[in-house]
Structure formats: structure tokens, C-alpha cells
């Protein structure tokens, strides 16, 4: 597996799309800071506003995740790379797990770049209104991390098994975004369901929107929900990975 991971890291390091994605991780927070600075308002042009806004925008990661996973996997399907690797004796499980590890690694790298750019630009360009909002933003990441890892795992499994970018996107959006919305629409007319979901989180997207980590035992609930999604995604994909045919 280590040799395959090394070869994949080398291959990814030569992909222009990966550098474009990482460039956006640098430019987006920088542009957000500059736009905040241009507002020239005491209520908005400060560190507190930016970190609160960033904390309220965590759910956007649910939509960015499938793009990132697709950048890592889809070329292998279109180029027939997977088929060649299997013909040389590499197991499907090795490819499957390695691709997931690459997605997690890329998530960490992209996340660090975004975090450092945002933090440095905000404290350099904007008036500092205290460390409270910055500390809250940092604390929220402990609850966000398992939810995003769950999204990465679900996206990875769907992408690997479907092998088609459109199918991957449709299934992922249905499971991670539309299904929670449909559930809450129905739960609003069923008091028992809404009472249940308020106590027991069911969806990472809803947990991010509702800032689940701020509730009582919130961090524990975030990690429990994230681990359940990761375990379920791997469990449901296990047999399909063994019989997956690559064309």
C-alpha cells in the first residue's frame, strides 16, 4: 500500500487541478478579508465579524467535499488507470483505502492552508476586537472535523463505486443535503419526530447548520455522528468494492 500511496502522491503533485483547488483555498479567505476591510464599518470591519461569519459558514464544506474527492478519483476512471493497476495484482481494497487516505490527507492540507490564510490576513488587516470569537472559531473545528470526515467518506465511497462524476454528485447531494431537508420538512408536522431529531442528530449537514457542538455534550454527539456515518459508508461499500469491475 505504501508504494501505491507514494505513486499516487507523486501523480497528484503533477495535476494542475489540485494546485488550482489549493490556490482557491488561499485566495477565498484572503478576498473575504479584503472585502470586509472595504466595508469600512465599525460593525463589520473587525476580526470578530469575520470569525463569526466563518463559523456560520461551516456547512459549505458539505458542498466542497465532493469536488475535492472527484479531483482525486475521477481521472483514474476516465483514463482506465484502475483497470491497469488491478491487472498488475493490486487489490481493490488497497486502492479503495488508499484513495480514502489521500482524500483525508488532501482535506487536511487544504484546511490548513485556508485556516492559516484566514487567520494571518484577518489579524494583519483588520482591527482586533478581542480573542473571544477567534477562540470560539477554533473550538468549533473540533466539532466540525468528524462531520466533514463523514462527508469525505460518504463521497469517497459513492465516487469509487459509481465511477461517474454526475452519478456521484447526484447521489451525494441526495443523501447529504436533500434527505435531511425532506426529513425536517416532514418532521415539522410530526411532533414526535422533531422532538427526537432535536435530541439525537441524524445528519452531518443539519449538525453543521445547527452548530451541534454548542449544545450539551455537543462534541461527543458530533464525533458519534461522524463515526457512525464513516462506519456505515465503509460497511455498505465493503462487498461492492470486492466485486467492482473497472472498465
Query: Rounded to two decimals, what is the model's pTM?
Result: 0.90
CB 113 within 8 A of CB 22: yes
Asked whether the beta carbons of 58 and 4 are under 8 A apart, the reply is no
pLDDT of residue 28 exceeding 70, the answer is: yes
- Over residues 15-34, the mean pLDDT reads 91
Residue 211, helix vs strand vs coil: coil
The per-type count for the chain, helices as H runs and strands as E runs, is: 12, 0
Average pLDDT over residues 105-115: 95
Q: Which of 23-32, 73-82, 199-208 has the lowest mean pLDDT?
A: 73-82
d(CA 61, CA 208): 9
Domain count, the chain: 1
pLDDT digits (tens, 9 = 90+) for 181-222: 888 777 777 777 777 776 677 899 989 988 999 988 889 999
168: exposed, middle or buried (C-beta count within 10 Å: 0-12, 13-18, 19+)?
A: buried
Can you tell me the distance from the alpha carbon of 4 to that of 205, in angstroms, rounded to the nearest whole number? 33
Amino acid at each position: 500500500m505504501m508504494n501505491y500511496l507514494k505513486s499516487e502522491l507523486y501523480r497528484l503533485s503533477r495535476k494542475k487541478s489540485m494546485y488550482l483547488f489549493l490556490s482557491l483555498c488561499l485566495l477565498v479567505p484572503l478576498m473575504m478579508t479584503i472585502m470586509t476591510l472595504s466595508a469600512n464599518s465599525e460593525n463589520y470591519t473587525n476580526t470578530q465579524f469575520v470569525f463569526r461569519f466563518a463559523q456560520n459558514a461551516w456547512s459549505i464544506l458539505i458542498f466542497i467535499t465532493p469536488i475535492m474527492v472527484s479531483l482525486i478519483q475521477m481521472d483514474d476512471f476516465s483514463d482506465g488507470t484502475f483497470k491497469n493497476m488491478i491487472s498488475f495484482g493490486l487489490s481493490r481494497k488497497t486502492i479503495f483505502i488508499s484513495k480514502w487516505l489521500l482524500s483525508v490527507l488532501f482535506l487536511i492540507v487544504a484546511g490548513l492552508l485556508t485556516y492559516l490564510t484566514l487567520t494571518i490576513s484577518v489579524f494583519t488587516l483588520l482591527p482586533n476586537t478581542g480573542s473571544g470569537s477567534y477562540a470560539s472559531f477554533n473550538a468549533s473545528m473540533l466539532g466540525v472535523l468528524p462531520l466533514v470526515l463523514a462527508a469525505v467518506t460518504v463521497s469517497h465511497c459513492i465516487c469509487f463505486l459509481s465511477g461517474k462524476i454526475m452519478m456521484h454528485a447526484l447521489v451525494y447531494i441526495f443523501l447529504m443535503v436533500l434527505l435531511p431537508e425532506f426529513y425536517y420538512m416532514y418532521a415539522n408536522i410530526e411532533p414526535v419526530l422533531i422532538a427526537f431529531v432535536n435530541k439525537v442528530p441524524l445528519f452531518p449537514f443539519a449538525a453543521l447548520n445547527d452548530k451541534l457542538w454548542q449544545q450539551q455534550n455537543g462534541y461527543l454527539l458530533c464525533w458519534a455522528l461522524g463515526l457512525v456515518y464513516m462506519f456505515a459508508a465503509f460497511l455498505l461499500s465493503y462487498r461492492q468494492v470486492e466485486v467492482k469491475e473497472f472498465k
